[in-house]
């Protein structure tokens, strides 16, 4: 019986998922990110200290727990993202790492939120982060969208648009307005898409001590959006001054201009983007797919200067995370991705009779050694039935072993064309060698 929020893809969907993961991994490695996998569990105090609500964390507990055991299992929770465990890993292994440290991580995470389309309780994320000791140069903030842009350009998916903001812009603006509780203002403005401007304005007055005029100014800032540096003039026109605001605008211009050179149209400065987690301190990213904007972000992240600290040591970082399950769930729901066949098999070796199974296995072995996915027919049924077996599974070729001195032959069961072939040399067309993924 299915459990809501815990997706299980069918084999064709899993083939698509693996294809997507291979493209993500290859692009991450092209940019020099090294692979990492961290444990699934973290101490609860570690998971809850950076702004995540406790109701979303799954607690790990044994049915037969020993209450006298030190550090009981109930003090552990499943990680809800990959950034918190990564920060812990950096602190524990700082002496063994070379900084700046670039890593990618592709793992399951668990979050106890209400399941809906494209939003799950168990899901796969693909993260990249760069961390350094003491200070992290800003150019890494400009690199993140470029990597993600290249990932999405390599996939048969709708065009992506990365929305970028900088928390320094927002916090500096709120300070310049005279609002002291900038974090509360940020959290409230982050709800704009969910509850709309009127309710956000009311909440700002109620929870952040804003006047009606201050709330209106916050909403005007959130309306500003541009794919070039013109957003700076729009912010200046609001008449607010603050040194942190100036710093944030300068950084945001650098991100937008670097992206415009690398991939025009990829990045848009959108000053309502805030990101809900408290640990972000500067640049923040959210990504939408064209045609799927109503579902929100499928890739997000940002700059965090204080997430990983130990005594006087600090390891600032910047990262971005692709919600792989979220993205695929939305695309599968629209039949927007297709795979050329539901199995990896390229060739089925027909079986004339059971006595010839060892010879057929040798043919299959010769093909596999050259990277051609091959299986032997399950039974020595009539050849027509064996062809239908291959056909039902989308396998393009059936191999017929030569008997009584005749040559082997291979048949393309889509066209009916059949040619003599040697398992040591025969090659399928490149497009048939592997199952291929395309837009549905």
Q: Does 383 lie in the same domain as 327? A: no
258 in the same domain as 208: yes
CB 73 within 8 A of CB 62: yes
Is 288 found in the same domain as 164? yes
Q: Helix axis angle, 11-30 relative to 139-153, nearest 10°?
A: 140
CATH number of the domain enclosing 238: 3.30.930.10
Q: What is the pLDDT of residue 219?
A: 94
Q: Is residue 355 part of a domain?
A: yes
Q: Residues 152, 241: one domain?
A: yes
Per-residue pLDDT reduced to its tens digit, 264-323? 999 999 999 987 667 889 999 999 999 999 999 999 999 999 878 888 889 999 999 999
State how far the Cα of 24 lies from the Cα of 285, in Å rounded to an integer.
Answer: 18
Specify whether 244 is located in the same domain as 321: no
Assess whether 226 and 285 both reside in one domain.
yes
Q: Determine the pLDDT at residue 213.
A: 92
Instruction: Confirm whether 242 is domain-assigned.
Output: yes
Contacts of 21 (CB under 8 A, 6+ apart): 106, 124, 126, 324
Domain identity same for 212 and 235: yes
Q: pTM for the full model?
A: 0.92
Is 8 within a domain? yes
* Strand spans (E) along 74-223: 76-78, 101-110, 122-131, 160-166
Q: Are residues 52 and 68 in the same domain?
A: yes
Which residues, other chains included, contact 280 with Cβ-Cβ below 8 Å and sequence gap of 6+? 167, 302, 303, 304
Name, in order, each residue with C-beta under 8 angstroms of 155's C-beta and a sequence gap of 6 or more: 20, 23
Are 23 and 3 part of one and the same domain? yes
In a domain, 299, yes or no: no
Residue 141 counted as domain residue = no
How is residue 38 annotated by DSSP?
Answer: -
Residue 265, domain member (yes or no): yes
Would you mind telling me the total number of residues written for the chain in this entry?
A: 440
The per-residue pLDDT for 218 is 93
For residue 15, what are the domain limits?
1-136+305-339
| 240 in the same domain as 130 | no
Q: Do 48 and 113 share a domain, yes or no?
A: yes
Backbone phi and psi for residue 61, each to the nearest 5 degrees, phi listed first: -145, 135
Question: What CATH number does residue 423 fall under?
Answer: 3.40.50.800
Judgement on whether residues 373 and 357 belong to the same structural domain of the protein: yes
For the chain, residues with pLDDT lower than 50 are none
Task: Assess if residue 300 is contained within a domain.
Answer: no
Single out the residue of 209, 194, 35 nearest to residue 129, CA to CA: 35
* Bind-site residues for L-histidine: 81-83, 111, 125, 129, 275, 279-280
Binding residues: 81-83, 111, 125, 129, 275, 279-280
> What is the distance between the alpha carbons of residues 426 and 416, in angstroms, rounded to a whole number?
17
Beta strands across the sheet bearing 418-420: 374-376, 347-349, 397-400, 409-412, 418-420
Number of domains in the chain: 3
């Amino acid at each position: 019986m299915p459990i809501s929020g815990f997706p299980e893809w069918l084999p064709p969907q899993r083939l698509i998922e693996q294809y997507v993961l291979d493209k993500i991994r290859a692009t991450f490695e092209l940019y020099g990110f090294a692979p990492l996998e961290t444990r699934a569990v973290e101490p609860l105090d570690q998971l809850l200290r950076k702004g995540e609500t406790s109701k979303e964390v799954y607690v790990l507990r044994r049915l037969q727990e020993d209450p006298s055991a030190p550090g009981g299992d109930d003090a552990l929770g499943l990680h809800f993202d990959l950034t918190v465990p990564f920060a812990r890993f950096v602190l524990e292994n700082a002496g063994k790492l070379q900084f700046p440290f670039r890593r990618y991580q592709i793992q399951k995470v668990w979050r106890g939120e209400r399941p809906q389309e494209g939003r799950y309780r168990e899901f796969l994320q693909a993260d990249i982060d760069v961390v350094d000791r003491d200070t992290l140069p800003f150019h890494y903030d400009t690199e993140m969208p470029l990597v993600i842009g290249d990932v999405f350009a390599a996939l048969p998916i709708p065009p992506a648009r990365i929305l970028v903001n900088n928390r320094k812009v927002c916090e500096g603006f709120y300070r310049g307005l005279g609002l002291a509780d900038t974090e509360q203002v940020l959290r409230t403005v982050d709800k704009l898409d969910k509850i709309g401007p009127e309710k956000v304005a009311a909440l700002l007055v109620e929870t952040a001590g804003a006047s009606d005029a201050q709330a209106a100014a916050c909403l005007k800032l959130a309306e500003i959006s541009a794919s070039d540096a013109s957003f700076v003039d729009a912010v200046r026109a609001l008449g607010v001054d603050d040194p942190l605001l100036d710093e944030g605008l300068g950084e945001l211009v650098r991100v937008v201009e670097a992206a415009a050179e690398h991939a025009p149209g990829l990045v848009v400065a959108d000053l309502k983007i805030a990101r809900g987690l408290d640990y972000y301190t500067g640049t923040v990213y959210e990504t939408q797919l064209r045609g799927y904007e109503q579902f929100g972000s499928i890739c997000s992240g940002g700059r965090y200067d204080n997430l990983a600290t130990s005594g006087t040591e600090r390891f600032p970082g910047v990262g971005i995370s692709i919600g792989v399950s979220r993205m695929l769930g939305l695309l599968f729901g629209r039949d927007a991705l297709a795979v050329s066949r539901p199995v990896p098999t390229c060739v089925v070796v027909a079986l004339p009779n059971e006595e010839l199974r060892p010879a057929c296995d040798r043919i299959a072995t010769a093909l596999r050694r050259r990277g051609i996915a091959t299986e032997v027919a399950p039974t020595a049924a009539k050849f027509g039935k064996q062809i239908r077996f291959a056909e039902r599974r989308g396998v393009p070729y059936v191999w017929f072993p030569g008997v009584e001195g005749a040559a082997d032959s291979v048949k393309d069961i889509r066209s009916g064309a059949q040619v003599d072939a040697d398992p040591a040399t025969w090659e399928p067309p490149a497009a048939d060698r592997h199952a291929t993924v395309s837009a549905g």
